[in-house]
């Protein structure tokens, strides 16, 4: 199939203006086949807008987006044959039951094998514990979400566009969702999963794009991104002088708190600090592994970083690491 | 008490424009009906002719009420009171449901209920606001009657009786909100009850005993099942007896008490009926966007079709009048002024009735497009359009359902008219006339369909207000433009002014062809432009 081996989603310099609001401001996005791509950003960052452009529902003010190598706008119908979509805030038809909505949406996408479909649907209704004979208006937010998920997973797709798919689900159902999603990917699907919750993305995604105010500020695999984060080191302050502490290489944001010294260090330079700590014979040493949360919250919370390239910002702004750590 | 005060203020603030417009419209209707009757039926002899015609034809009594003699003020009550009762009922049921079930459905009621106020307080505030509105209605109607020069005591009773009818239906609306899960269902049940009450008294009045001089009707028992019937039974200006209104107040008390009892026992957001269950799998017909569009719209299509059946049956039955009196009678002149169509009196009747059917059909068309907009606004359209469904196809499916609905309405009306004409032994050719009149209504309805579709594509947010607005404006210009003496160009703005002349000697279908051509252009324009815009709820 055309575009099978190449990039599944490619967006270049996407702009979307709503009057004076610039929802997207030069956004790039690349999603490769077979990956679960986390699309992370705070509320209002432009995640839903991007997905709606990829679906051809909205038209970009500038830039272009291709899905399976086809133009998201002009080739929408042929793209839609190959994808499944779960909106961020699922609305259902008040008078249709959940089961009817699932059947309708699946039929619209095209059921290739009846038996296969029935089997899958029964399985999904079962694991998501969804009662399909209730009318749409009586479902809670979480159950509406489940209806959309069952409809998306009941017919196999090459691409799943999931806009904050777990926002109404309880933790048990989130686990079910992760399991089902992994199976879809094992079957050869690609996923773009938008979220504003890092832990969800950390558990599921192989690659992540972090966006903020309509731009991509970070992109890479989880391991690559972790390398951008800082490790926290702490030990007992007893018998140590200011000068001792000043001699630790690459340490930033050094502070003493209830009898313990703490500092952060770039994950890549941690090893340089260790021999010095050993020489000081520090006691009660703890080294807390890097968390993406830190990186993530930095992009969430900081407007003054916007002007700087994101990687530089990581090293330059350690004060926020502490902030991030205490949130963990 | 401050809680009640602020809830009441919130209701007043939300409703003030709407309620004020209703009150002014009803007041104007009362005033102008009284003065127009004065102008057209000022003479006793004229009124007697009119009333004998009416009592000889049950169809008229069904719509109007039981005549109480040929005095001018009695004729006023006969011609308009039942209709005013219908309006008062609808205003009240919509008011009750708007502040009650609709609030629960959207979850806003829960926000209010979470504050430390007594459970029944919102209901009390709605009831109080409804009572105030009915008091205002009574004052408005009484005032306008007096202003039109009618007797004061009778004028006051007219207002009070309408207020009492309103209060009964306010209670019906409150109870329906307790019973049904959605505001749509509650409105349907409550408004249905109003129409049923109107029809029950219609049947009772039509079955009533006619006096020997043909100027009085004593209603039969079905009228006594209806709050509107009780209002009529107070016979303002003639018997002037308020006793039957005790029934209205009594019914309201019982219904409000039941609503309160149900209310304190149930959960917020729950209801007595409508647990909301259905089939677990979709029927084979629900497999595409056309099936969906039909599924979403058929209940309202049936509603419109029922209206069309009633109108058609009424129009067909009126055919007998033509035989009962020559073309010299006063109604004929009125009708000619309204439509200008038709040779015989029965043809004139038929074309007036079918103009109303045409408005219903156009309403059906407008609603079909508004449905598409609603789908977009609540984002369910996104689910469909994210599947391999072309946008043009999606819109076309809603328009197709609109066209089907228009055809159903017109055909049902024509069939009903033919059947009822046959039942009353109307003159020959009635069925042919009915079908020709129905066909003549098709172009205007189609033009409305695609014009509103164009509005939907260009200014989606305004689909509903513009859609209903142009329908009402078009209906007014087309029907009354001539009567109220508007310039010709204003009248020509209305599609209904160009509806083909299907009956009589000057048959002319050209207006229809022009409208169909315009409809096609607008429809194609809408399809092309839809591809260029965003699908968005805002
Ligand atoms: N139809 C619209 N009209 C005006 N502003 C919009 C519209 N849709 C989105 N926005 C704005 O665009 C920005 C991005 O929104 P969205 O893509 O929904 O963010 P996210 O999904 O990341 O939370 C927000 O500031 C939002 O208010
Ligand atoms: Mg969003």
pLDDT in tens, B3-17: 889 999 999 999 998
pLDDT tier for residue A142 given thresholds of 50, 70 and 90: very high
ipTM over 0.85: no
Residue ranges of domains in chain A: 9-224, 230-288, 296-326
- The answer on B168 and B47 residing in a single domain is yes
d(CA B10, CA A326): 45
Task: Compute the distance between CA of residue B78 and CA of residue B85 in angstroms, rounded to an integer.
Answer: 12
Percent over 90 (pLDDT), chain A:
55
pLDDT at B329 over 60: no
Q: Which CATH number fits domain A230-288: 1.10.10.10, 3.40.50.300, 3.30.10.20, 3.30.70.980?
A: 3.30.70.980
Cβ–Cβ contact B183 with A under 8 A: no
In percent, the amount of chain B with pLDDT more than 70 equals 93
Out of B273, B306, B334, a domain closes at: B273
Per residue in A88-104, pLDDT (tens digit) is 899 999 889 999 999 99
Tally the domains of chain B.
2
Predicted pLDDT of residue A324: 36
* Residue B405 resides in a domain: yes
- Distance in angstroms (rounded) separating the CA atoms of residues A46 and B307: 48
For residue B279, being part of any structural domain is answered with no
Query: Which carries the bigger pLDDT value, residue A63 or residue B423?
Result: A63
pLDDT, position A272:
85
Check whether residue B79 and residue B19 sit in a common domain. yes
Helical segments of B345-487, H only: 345-377, 380-385, 391-423, 430-458, 463-480
Tell whether B316 and B201 lie within a shared domain: no
Residue B410 shares a structural domain with residue B363 = yes
pLDDT (0 to 100) of residue B275: 65
User: Do residues B373 and B300 share a domain?
Assistant: yes
**CB–CB contact B292 A55 (8 Å):** no
- Chain A residues with CB under 8 Å of a chain B CB are 52, 55, 57-59, 77-78, 80-81, 83, 85, 87, 89, 91-97, 99-100, 103-105, 107-110, 132-135, 137-138, 148, 161
Tokens coding B313: 């049956």
B39 part of contact set with chain A, CB < 8 Å = no
Q: What is the pLDDT of residues B179-191, one digit of tens each?
A: 888 788 888 889 8
Residue range B495-508: mean pLDDT, rounded = 84
N- to C-terminal Cα separation, chain B: 39
- Residue B211 DSSP class: P
Find the mean pLDDT for residues A40-46: 90
The verdict on residue B416 lying in a domain is yes
Do B207 and B70 sit in the same domain of this protein?
Answer: yes
User: What is the C-alpha separation between B98 and B264, in angstroms, rounded?
Assistant: 19
Q: pLDDT digit string (tens) for A300-313? A: 665 433 433 333 33
Q: Structural domain of residue B86, as residue ranges?
A: 1-273
Rounded to a whole number of angstroms, the distance from the CA of A298 to the nearest CA of chain B is 32
pLDDT digits (tens, 9 = 90+) for B363-373: 999 999 999 99
Beta strands, E only, chain A: 9-18, 21-31, 36-40, 62-67, 70-71, 83-86, 159-163, 190-195, 207-212, 215-221, 230-236, 252-257, 260-266, 286-288
Domain final residue pick, B273, B298, B322: B273
Residue nearest to atom 13 of ligand 1 (CA): A23
The closest alpha carbon to B54, from B200, B215, B162, B171, belongs to B215
Q: What is the pLDDT of residue B343?
A: 59
Q: Verify that B218 and B292 share a domain, yes or no.
A: no
CA distance B249 to B251: 5
Using a CB-CB distance cutoff of 8 angstroms, which residues of chain B are in contact with residue A159?
A: none
**Ligand 1, pocket-test mutation among A18, A163, A212, most atoms within 8 A of CB:** A18
Same domain, B471 and B351: yes
pLDDT of B113 over the 80 cut: no
CATH of A9-224, one of 3.90.550.10, 3.40.50.300, 3.30.420.40, 2.40.50.100: 3.40.50.300
Q: Mark whether B199 and B102 lie in a shared domain.
A: yes
**Are B242 and B120 contained in the same domain?**
yes
- At B339 the pLDDT is 53
Residues B381, B519: one domain? yes
Whether residues B121 and B191 share a domain: the answer is yes
């Amino acid at each position: 199939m055309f575009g099978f081996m190449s990039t599944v989603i490619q967006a270049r310099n996407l702009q979307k203006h709503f009057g004076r609001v610039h929802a997207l401001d030069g956004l790039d996005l690349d999603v490769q086949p077979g990956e679960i791509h986390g699309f992370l950003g705070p509320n209002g960052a432009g995640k839903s807008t991007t997905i709606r452009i990829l679906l051809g529902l909205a038209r970009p003010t500038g830039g272009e987006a291709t899905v399976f190598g086809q133009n998201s706008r002009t080739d929408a119908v042929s793209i839609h044959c190959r994808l499944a979509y779960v909106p961020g805030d699922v609305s259902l038809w008040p008078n249709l039951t959940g089961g009817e909505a699932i059947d309708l949406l699946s039929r619209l996408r095209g059921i290739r094998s009846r038996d296969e479909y029935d089997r899958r649907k029964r399985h999904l209704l079962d694991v998501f514990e969804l009662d399909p004979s209730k009318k749409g208006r009586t479902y809670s937010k979480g159950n509406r979400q489940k209806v959309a998920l069952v409809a998306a997973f009941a017919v196999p797709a090459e691409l799943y566009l999931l806009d904050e798919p777990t926002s109404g689900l309880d933790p048990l159902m989130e686990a079910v969702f992760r399991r089902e999603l992994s199976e879809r990917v094992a079957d050869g699907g690609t996923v773009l999963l938008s979220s504003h919750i890092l832990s969800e993305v950390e558990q599921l995604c192989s690659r992540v794009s972090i966006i903020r105010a309509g731009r991509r500020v970070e992109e890479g695999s989880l391991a690559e991104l972790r390398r951008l984060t800082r490790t926290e080191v702490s030990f007992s302050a007893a018998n140590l002088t200011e000068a001792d502490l000043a001699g630790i290489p690459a340490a930033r944001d050094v502070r003493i708190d209830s009898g313990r010294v703490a500092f952060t260090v770039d994950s890549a330079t941690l090893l340089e600090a260790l021999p010095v700590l050993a020489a000081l014979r520090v006691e009660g040493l703890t080294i807390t592994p890097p968390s993406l949360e830190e990186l993530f919250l930095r992009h969430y919370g900081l407007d003054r970083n916007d002007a700087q390239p994101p990687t530089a910002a990581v090293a330059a702004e350690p004060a926020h690491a502490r902030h991030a750590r205490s949130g963990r | 008490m401050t809680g009640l005060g602020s809830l009441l203020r919130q209701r007043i603030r939300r409703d003030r424009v709407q309620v004020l417009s209703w009150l002014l419209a009803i007041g104007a209707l009362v005033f102008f009906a009284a003065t127009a009757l004065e102008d057209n039926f000022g003479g006793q002899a004229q009124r007697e002719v009119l009333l004998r015609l009416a009592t000889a034809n049950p169809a008229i009594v069904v719509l109007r009420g039981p005549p109480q003699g040929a005095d001018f003020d009695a004729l006023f009550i006969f011609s308009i009171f039942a209709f005013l009762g219908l309006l008062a009922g609808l205003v009240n049921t919509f008011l009750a449901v708007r502040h009650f079930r609709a609030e629960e459905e959207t979850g806003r009621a829960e926000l209010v209920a979470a504050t430390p106020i007594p459970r029944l307080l919102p209901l009390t505030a709605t009831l109080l606001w409804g009572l105030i509105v009915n008091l205002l209605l009574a004052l408005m109607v009484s005032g306008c009657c007096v202003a039109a020069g009618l007797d004061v005591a009778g004028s006051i009773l007219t207002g009070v009786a309408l207020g009492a009818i309103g209060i009964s239906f306010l209670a019906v609306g409150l109870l329906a909100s307790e019973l049904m899960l959605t505001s749509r269902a509650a409105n349907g049940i409550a408004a249905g009850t109003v129409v049923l009450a109107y029809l029950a008294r219609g049947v009772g009045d039509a079955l009533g005993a006619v006096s020997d001089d043909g100027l009085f009707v004593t209603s039969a028992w079905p009228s006594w099942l209806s709050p509107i019937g009780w209002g009529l039974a107070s016979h303002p200006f003639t018997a002037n007896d308020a006793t039957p209104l005790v029934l209205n107040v009594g019914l309201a008390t019982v219904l409000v008490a039941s609503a309160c009892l149900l209310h304190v026992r149930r959960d917020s957001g729950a209801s007595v009926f409508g647990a909301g269950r259905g089939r677990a799998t979709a029927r084979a017909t629900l497999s595409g966007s056309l099936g969906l569009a039909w599924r979403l719209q058929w209940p309202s299509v049936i509603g419109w079709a029922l209206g069309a059946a009633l109108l058609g049956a009424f129009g067909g039955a009126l055919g007998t009048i033509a035989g009962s009196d020559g073309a010299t009678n006063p109604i004929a002149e009125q009708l000619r002024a309204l439509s200008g169509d038709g040779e015989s009196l029965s043809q004139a009747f038929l074309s007036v009735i079918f103009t109303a059917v045409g408005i219903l059909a156009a309403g059906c068309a407008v609603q079909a497009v508004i449905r598409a907009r609603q789908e977009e606004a609540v984002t369910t359209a996104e689910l469909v359009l994210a599947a391999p469904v072309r946008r043009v196809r999606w819109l076309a499916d809603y328009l197709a359902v609109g066209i089907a609905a228009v055809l159903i309405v017109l055909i049902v009306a024509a069939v009903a008219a033919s059947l009822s004409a046959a039942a009353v032994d109307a003159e020959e050719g009635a069925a042919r006339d009915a079908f020709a009149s129905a066909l003549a209504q098709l172009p205007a309805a189609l033009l409305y369909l695609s014009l509103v579709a164009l509005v939907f594509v260009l200014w989606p947010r305004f689909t509903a207000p513009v859609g209903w607005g142009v329908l009402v404006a078009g209906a007014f210009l087309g029907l009354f433009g001539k009567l109220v003496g508007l310039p010709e160009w204003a009248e020509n703005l209305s599609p209904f002014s160009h509806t083909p002349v299907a009956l009589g000697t000057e048959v002319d279908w050209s207006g229809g062809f022009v409208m169909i051509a315009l409809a096609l252009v607008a429809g194609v324009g809408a399809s092309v432009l839809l591809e260029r815009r965003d699908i968005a709820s805002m």
